[in-house]
């Protein structure tokens, strides 16, 4: 149950959860006060910690990603969430179990866990259904652990479950310098893929370092650079005409995995339902190519075991040092407004992680 909010907004906060002898322990979180620009997010203090209900655990959050999808939630244009403000954004998190509700037997206080929350993770404390959280192996950096939950599970499932890419194949990645793009590059490198990656010029060094062949989408035609009929899979969250052009680059047997509408989310036109239907229709054309729309939320709902299995496999790769998420900046929770501005300016290489209860 949501605790009473203390009417105090923090402008220059140094924050720690503090003990209030009368009301129990207070805590801080970031809430979207109304749908709109970054400034609608406020850093607030709540009077008492949330209490885990039966079957829930309370988690002391250590890290949460600040990602592009959070900016869509903040604007009220994220189709998968019907909540009305005020509520916190925050699509994923990693943290330590702090209190266990009744009827929870498989999790203990002190255990590190992660979850795909979709919203609500910009907070020091959160309650989650015990069956939805995934244990994080000991010794992992919480910022790196949370980075795997949304963007790496998305990249992994698109590669392995949607496109079913094979070792040594050729792929095209749009937004290759962003959170999902860099995850696709890192995971694709483990499969020795030949990878073309569209990105603006300042992100080309990063794309190259991660094993990709950068294409400056602002000055080059990616269809010409890659070639018509030349890739086994294309991963496209840009939308609009980009989907059609990505489809052209597919070989016979190739797959377009569409997974977002970046341009539309940035107010650059495009009709989402029509674009979605086109992707579905192209799949029916008898031209030997397929197209599909990937959604982490829809797939998790349909196949919850895959989500747990895939995230656990990614934690394993992280523990073995086979992947290392690109985190350009670690910021504080009270810097969420600044983080969203940077994301919306496409000024972030890889990702931003908000560090919450550290140490």
- Please report, as ranges, the residues that interact with ligand NAP according to CB under 6 A: 67-69, 72, 150-151, 154, 174-175, 177-181, 198-200, 203, 217, 237-238, 259-260, 262, 265, 294-296, 343, 346
CB of 206 to ligand NAP, least distance (A): 10
Of the two residues 107 and 173, which places its CB atom closer to ligand NAP in the complex?
Answer: 173
CB of 278 to ligand NAP, least distance (A): 16
Of the two residues 98 and 236, which places its CB atom closer to ligand NAP in the complex?
Answer: 236
Of the two residues 259 and 315, which places its CB atom closer to ligand NAP in the complex?
Answer: 259
CB of 19 to ligand NAP, least distance (A): 37
CB of 143 to ligand NAP, least distance (A): 15
DSSP H or E run through 169:
none
Of the two residues 4 and 201, which places its CB atom closer to ligand NAP in the complex?
Answer: 201
Residues linked to residue 63 through DSSP beta bridges, in sequence order = 94, 355
Distance from C-alpha of 98 to C-alpha of 293, rounded to nearest angstrom: 37
CB of 61 to ligand NAP, least distance (A): 19
Residue pair 254/234 in contact by the 8 Å Cβ criterion: yes
Residues linked to residue 58 through DSSP beta bridges, in sequence order = 99, 127
Residues 6+ apart with CB under 8 A from 109: 97, 98, 99, 100
Of the two residues 196 and 315, which places its CB atom closer to ligand NAP in the complex?
Answer: 196
CB of 24 to ligand NAP, least distance (A): 36
Q: What is the DSSP string of 147-163?
A: HIIIIIHHHHHIIIIIS
Nearest to ligand NAP by Cβ — which residue?
A: 178
Tell me whether strands 56-66 and 125-129 are parallel, antiparallel or unpaired: antiparallel
Of the two residues 6 and 313, which places its CB atom closer to ligand NAP in the complex?
Answer: 313
Distance from C-alpha of 242 to C-alpha of 74, rounded to nearest angstrom: 25
């Amino acid at each position: 149950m949501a605790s009473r909010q203390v009417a105090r907004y923090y402008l220059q906060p140094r924050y720690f959860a503090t003990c209030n002898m009368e009301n129990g322990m207070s805590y801080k979180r970031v809430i979207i006060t109304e749908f709109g620009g970054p400034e609608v997010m406020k850093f607030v203090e709540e009077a008492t910690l949330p209490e885990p209900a039966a079957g829930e655990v309370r988690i002391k959050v250590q890290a949460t990603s600040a990602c592009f999808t959070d900016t869509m939630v903040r604007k009220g244009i994220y189709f998968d969430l019907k909540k009305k403000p005020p509520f916190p954004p925050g699509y994923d998190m990693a943290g330590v179990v702090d209190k266990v509700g009744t009827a929870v037997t498989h999790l203990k206080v002190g255990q590190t866990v992660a979850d795909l929350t979709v919203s609500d993770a910009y907070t020091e404390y959160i309650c989650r259904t015990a069956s939805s959280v995934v244990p994080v192996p000991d010794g992992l950096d919480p910022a790196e652990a949370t980075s795997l939950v949304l963007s790496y599970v998305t990249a992994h499932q698109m590669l392995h479950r949607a496109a079913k890419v094979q070792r040594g194949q050729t792929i095209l990645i749009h937004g290759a310098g962003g959170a999902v793009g860099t995850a696709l590059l890192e995971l694709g490198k483990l499969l020795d893929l030949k990878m073309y990656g569209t990105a603006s010029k300042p992100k080309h060094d990063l794309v190259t370092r991660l094993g990709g062949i950068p294409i400056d989408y602002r000055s080059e035609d990616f269809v010409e650079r890659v070639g018509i009929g030349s890739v086994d899979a294309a991963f496209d969250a840009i939308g609009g005409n980009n989907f059609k052009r990505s489809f052209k680059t597919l070989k016979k047997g190739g797959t377009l995995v569409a997974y977002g509408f970046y341009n539309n989310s940035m107010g650059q036109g495009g009709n989402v339902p029509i674009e979605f239907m086109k992707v579905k229709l192209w799949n029916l054309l008898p031209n030997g190519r397929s197209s599909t729309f990937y959604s982490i939320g829809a797939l998790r709902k349909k196949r919850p075991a895959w989500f747990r299995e895939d995230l656990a496999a990614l934690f394993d790769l992280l523990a073995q040092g086979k992947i290392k998420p690109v985190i350009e900046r670690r910021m504080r929770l009270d810097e969420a407004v600044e983080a969203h501005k940077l994301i919306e300016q496409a000024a972030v290489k890889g990702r931003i992680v908000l560090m919450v209860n550290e140490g």
